[in-house]
Structure 1
Amino acid sequence: MYINIGDRHKIILDKLKTKGFVTVLELSEEFKVSAVTIRKDLKHLEELNLLFRSHGKAVPTNPYTQEKTVTEKEKIHRSEKTGIASKASKLILPNDSIILASGTTITELAAQIPPIKGLTVLTASLNAALILSKLNDVEVIQIGGLIRKSSSSVIGPLGEKMLSEFTCSKLFLGVDGIDLDFGLTTTSSMEASINQIMIKSAQKIIILADSSKFGRKGFGRICGLEEVDQIITDSGIEDSYKKELIKLGIEVIVIDVD
């Protein structure tokens, strides 16, 4: 039976209230319309601030503008983060000087870095610093500043001034959102600010982001995609996004996740 647009939108919003999320595939099958039609429906409802789209589904609220604790973040996309971190760890070479930003993927990267002769790590992440401090061959420099409890990291002008005194070979940066037009974002404007200084202090910018981050926007803008050299993500990334990133000159490394 044909359901008009208005009724379709009402049913979608009712499902969001009762179930907490809806998927493009589920709605397409229920309404017997194409996935393209459903995506248009969801886009329209998002423009009215009635829902937020997130990689093949829609949720009532935007997960990237809400603060989550480290414990909560650690439970999300665990296998993807592990695979991404493993790939990133292989890019670190003897005598490298690197910056590790903050976030659960960055902490996972720290856990997977082996003893590398001559490696110097400058980090805003308290957890990453503690993990790497156990490696004899690695010199760890903890950035100072105000502690951001939700990410167990430091932010603020003290850390930014400290960062401006260094030049490093690579920056490994986790983000909350990647949008083709708006660029890289995070949930905190102060974290975005210190991330901007990290970018200025590094020769190569490497983004670690699972596929759920694409097409999303956080509160604080870090930079445009023209600043990025490499992105490591998982196989859930849409081909269209990958192609656009490659067009921008970004090397996209995709890891398979079981």
Structure 2
Amino acid sequence: MISITERHQHIINKLQQEGQVNVLDLCDQLSVSSVTIRKDLKLLEDKGLLFRTHGGATQNNPYTIDRPVNEKEHLQISEKTRIGIAAAKLIEPNDSILIASGTTVMALAKSIQPHALKNLTVITSALNVALELLRHPEVEVMQLGGLLRRSSSSVTGPYSESILADFSCSKLFLGVDGIDLEFGLTTTNVMEAHLNRQMINISQKAIVLADSSKFGKRGFGRICGFEDIDQIITDKGISEHTLNSLQGMGVKVTIV
């Protein structure tokens, strides 16, 4: 029978390889009960070697905090820029698109080349995105109204949601705070999560823009599951396990 030390080493090795582990998978691999695995995970968490999650564990703290936008814009700058450029290439003439809030979708706004597009309409909840696109007279910009979140410089609430009910958009470009293979896509604000769900509902295609640091993270407000999105654009920091899992769920993943 495998020893507790060997079990713990196996768990740590799997975490280093894949970034997260699943209780049922570990039961099969180690031929022990789920009770034993959960005790192992608790012991390892007590030693500061992992963070337990629902049904498993992860190498990094899965819970995100609400940071102000002027702080987040200095994180993963090059990755966000490449993601924004790739996302801008998906915009076509005569598109009516939704751009949600966040520093990665702001990188998209900066990458849009309006002179190459005709009749582009942009609806956005983010003040900084609207101000960026106002520099281009060729772009029709509609700013949603509602309660202004100071940390994200974007609006939320029932008023912004009611405005969306009158529109149908070709594409949604969505920024998120966390992408968890079990819990789905999340943000740190519940009202923003609800608005994001409304955006998904009125869009023909939902495209998530997220650098690889967002994977394995959870925010307080759940936006949706992976069945509700079509594509994720991210950087090469995504793990092979996460990439294969997303593709297995039918999500197109573009790595820049």
Is 2:144–2:155's contact at 8 Å kept on the other side of the alignment? yes
Q: Give the AA of the match of 1:76.
A: L
Q: For residue 252 of structure 1, what is the aligned residue in structure 2?
A: 253
Partner of 1:21: none
In structure 2, what is the equivalent of residue 35 of structure 1?
A: 13
1:49–1:112 Cα change, 3 Å: farther
Q: Which residue of 1 aligns with 2:68?
A: 69
Q: 1:103 is matched with which residue?
A: 102
Q: Match for residue 153 of structure 2? A: 152
- Partner SS state of residue 110, structure 2: helix
Cα distance in 1 for residues equivalent to 2:217 and 2:12: 23
Q: Which amino acid aligns with 1:235?
A: K
How far 1:52 sits from its partner (Å)?
4.7
Matches of 2:150 and 2:47, distance apart in 1: 29
Matched with 1:127 is 128
Partners in 1 of 2:168 and 2:207 — Cα distance?
15
Measured in 2, the distance between the counterparts of 1:182 and 1:219 equals: 11
Aligned counterparts of 1:244 and 1:177: Cα–Cα separation in 2? 16
Alignment partner, residue 88 of structure 1:
87
Report the Cα offset of residue 247 of structure 1: 1.0
8 Å CA contact retained: 2:188, 2:219: yes
CA deviation string 1:107-162 (max 9, x = no partner): 11101101121000000010000010111211000001010010000000000000
Unaligned runs of 5+ in 1: 10-27
User: 1:169 is matched with which residue?
Assistant: 170
For 1:190, the equivalent position in structure 2 comes to 191
How far the C-alpha of 1:35 sits from its partner, in A, is 2.9
**Which residue number corresponds to residue 180 of structure 2?**
179
TM-score (norm 2): 0.79
Q: Distance in 2 between matches of 1:215 and 1:181?
A: 9
Cα RMSD after superposing both structures = 2.9
Contact (CA 8 Å) 2:15, 2:59: kept in 1 or not? no
SS of match in other structure, 2:196: helix
Which one-letter code corresponds to 1:126 in the other structure?
Answer: L
Amino acid at match of 1:110: A
* 1:199-214 map, 5 Å: 199-214=200-215
1:144 and 1:83 mapped to 2: Cα distance?
30
Greater mean deviation of Cα atoms: 35-44 or 130-139: 35-44
Work out the CA distance in 1 between the residues paired with 2:220 and 2:74: 22
Q: Equivalent residue of 1:249, what SS?
A: coil
* Count of residue pairs brought into register by the alignment: 225
For structure 2, which runs of at least 5 residues remain unmatched after alignment?
A: 22-36, 53-57
